[in-house]
Amino acid sequence: MQLLDGVLVSGHIKEQIKQEAIDWQAAGGKKPHLAAILVGNNPASEAYVGSKVKHCDELGFDSTLLRLPSETTEAALIAEVQRLNEDPAVDGILVQLPLPEHISPDSVINAIDPGKDVDGFHPISQGRMVLGQPTFLPATPYGIMLMLEYYKINTSGMHCVVIGRSNIVGTPMSVLMSRASNPGNATVTLCHSRTRNLKDFTLNADIIIAAIGKPRYVTADMVKPGAIVIDVGINRIEDASRKSGSRLVGDVDFDNVAPLCSYITPVPKGVGLMTICGLMKNTLQAAKQKGI
């Protein structure tokens, strides 16, 4: 079994991004600038946004973090998005999800200028992705593709089972893995909450990508020996042995599944770090698209 090491791979990719940004600025290009909007104070969202801003610093990008109270109206949030759309200093815009119940994420995402949609969630970005046209890929699936590419894993002809059909992970992942590209060229089965007998599918998978949001849901009896397992899940569970009283686990029962696999991502230090790489690559691309 080989661990797909998010620390190692993201370290390499961040070095590349940093150098590319330096070269871009040396040639007269603009310093990339990411603007993030956080509505409310969900602790997990605080941590994710904080990490994105920290990575901007690390890579020499500018960043702006706009904090809005949880009672912000949908109209006020959209007005902020439109203000950032028109701000020439800002290259990329992200609105941290989930949003409070009274705000429609679709309406807010639709308001983002597709040229600044570095999360890749806008319908234009997703449509271009489906058609195989150049676009901003959603950060987590993009990061997973970068991980597979780094380890030179040839997925051509493999049966890939994606579990989860969210717009931000499962669905785009299924599209990218089936595209005529490498990584890609896989035969994809997209499983979800209404799938009957999930195990019948996963046991036939050469590669399993789990994006379910249920701690340790994929167990050893569901995995074919030699399979590649990509664990997207981030779930906090109680752990009395930790000072904090909790720890993070994925959607895969890592301890029992890992010995069966050819490759597997850990949680933490796996896909989460790759997501940041996807976002930062998109932000640099957004700055470069403006030209010199």
Residues with catalytic roles: 52, 96, 119
The least distance separating ligand NAD from the CB of residue 288, rounded to whole angstroms, comes to: 24
Confirm if 250 and 219 have CB atoms less than 8 A apart: no
Query: How far apart are CB 77 and ligand NAD at their closest, in Å?
Result: 20
Of 52 and 90, which CB lies nearer to ligand NAD in the complex structure?
52
- CB-nearer residue toward ligand NAD: 168 or 175: 168
For residue 212, the minimal CB distance to ligand NAD (Å) is 4
Binding region for ligand NAD (CB under 6 A): 140, 163-166, 168-170, 191-193, 195, 198, 211-214, 232-235, 271-272, 275
Least distance (Å) between residue 72 CB and ligand NAD: 22
Nearer to ligand NAD, 143 or 183 (CB): 143
Nearer to ligand NAD, 90 or 257 (CB): 257
When the beta carbons of 79 and 237 are compared against ligand NAD, the nearer one is: 237
CB 240 to ligand NAD: min, Å? 22
* Comparison of 191 and 261: residue with beta carbon closer to ligand NAD: 191
- How many CB atoms within 10 Å of residue 65? 15
The 3-state secondary structure of the chain reads CEECCHHHHHHHHHHHHHHHHHHHHHCCCCCCEEEEEEECCCHHHHHHHHHHHHHHHHHCCEEEEEEECCCCCHHHHHHHHHHHHHCCCCCEEEECCCCCCCCCHHHHHHHCCHHHCCCCCCHHHHHHHHHCCCCCCCHHHHHHHHHHHHCCCCCCCCEEEEECCCCCCHHHHHHHHHCCCCCCCCEEEEECCCCCCHHHHHCCCCEEEECCCCCCCECHHHCCCCCEEEECCCEEEECCCCCCCEEEECCECHHHHHHHCCEECCCCCCHHHHHHHHHHHHHHHHHHHCCC
- The closest of 93, 109, 209 to 159, measured between CA atoms, is 209
Amino acid at residue number 41: N
